[in-house]
Amino acid sequence: MSSTTGEADKFSSLTSTHVCYHFSLDEIQFATNDFDDEVVIGRGGFGKVYKGSICIGETSHVVAIKRLDSMSDQGALEFRNEIEMLSKLRHCHLVSLIGFCDDNKEMILVYEYMPHGTLDHHLHKADTPLNWVQRLKIALGAARGLDYLHTGVATQHGVIHRDIKSSNILLDENWAAMISDIGLSKVGPTNQSFSDFDISASVKGTFGYLDPKYFYTRRVTRKTDVFAFGVVLFELLSGRRAVDARYGEEQCSLVRWAKICVKDRKLYQLVDYNIRGTIFAKCLKRYAQIAYRCVDSVLKERPSMTEVVASLQLLLELQEKHDNSTESSGKVRFAWKIHKYLVPTAKQNYDQSGSSSSQKSLENHMNLPSSINKGESNHGETMEVATDIKKFTYVELECATRNFGTVALLVNEDEDVSEVFEGSDETGLPIAVKRFRNDEHGSLKTVEYNI
């Protein structure tokens, strides 16, 4: 370890070298304005995390300073463990340790600052939700960081994190995922870098992410981390916490509820309202399968993190290819069909039976049966779905249109009459959902059309 005194190394070099600075308590107090609560950016079982500015050589840099509380369950062992681990490990998806302070019985760690905070915050507290592609990229980045730990590229032996969770995944200025807080980590035996190993250990971790096998056997393996990562994958998809009592006994455990949804092929129920209608159906299915395998009760059925990285990379490419294709052609074509078949115009022609030509085109295009009740007003025909057409629940249509959000709104024909939303059903089939106001109070009824 080296002191900051007389050091002129550039901050950027810290992420590529294994230097770990030994800061004095005076430097830490100055950086945090004497541990002012106004600069606290995080709290946990270990204590508080402060945002501060600290000098390295002649240059001042923004850092995150974690101060271990004297009442914390984590003690000197975890403190030393994290210093030893992060002094050896460097990866683009692993938070870099810059230095530490152990003066006057203080245990303080100094990390590179992550401007966008924790994944937990953005999934459960932030006003602006992450979109689906952002979530996929975060999952992929975190998987790469965890795979780096498991394969022991830098240390010649693997590292088991033991506390993977959304609050331990940080996001940098580019929204890249960074694995953090490895104070509970365990190092595997040498010469077994690419095979599973067991380590007898006291049970450590966070309820909701804790592998039942680990809990009952006290044997921790790489697959212990894989289980926790599977919980994070479901958390990214659903926007739900790992454990949430608000959903009642049957759904309070995210893993238990998610596994039921996958088994029953009700994947749309798993999708966060904020991203419904934005996930390519094939991508959703494969993503759910990966997450399901990660939390499999049989250890041998769980994939390695190397497999997870490869799968998520393919899914990201699949989703982006679909999005690019939709943006360049599909959405334009889709909107054109909406205009042609669903949007009434002043030039519509009605035949002697009272049906408009555009309505007939809609029926022919959709192969609708004649049992559909035809409207007569060119201000927006009210149509009722016949009994031989699939009947959607309101919840399903909410899912398809992202809760009838403005991002899915294609046509606002007349705010007092009807709106048309773009979406896709649980199979990925593009649909248009036309919602009508049908009384003087402005209440809405919804009709779905396949395009």
CA distance 176 to 165: 16
Which tokens belong to 365? 């295009």
Q: How many Cα atoms occupy the beta-carbon half-sphere of 240 within 13 Å?
A: 23
Residue pointed to by tokens 């395009």: 451
Residues with a catalytic annotation lie at 163
For 165-182, b/e burial (b = at least 16 CB within 10 A) is bbbbbbbbeeebbbbbbb
CA distance 409 to 406: 5
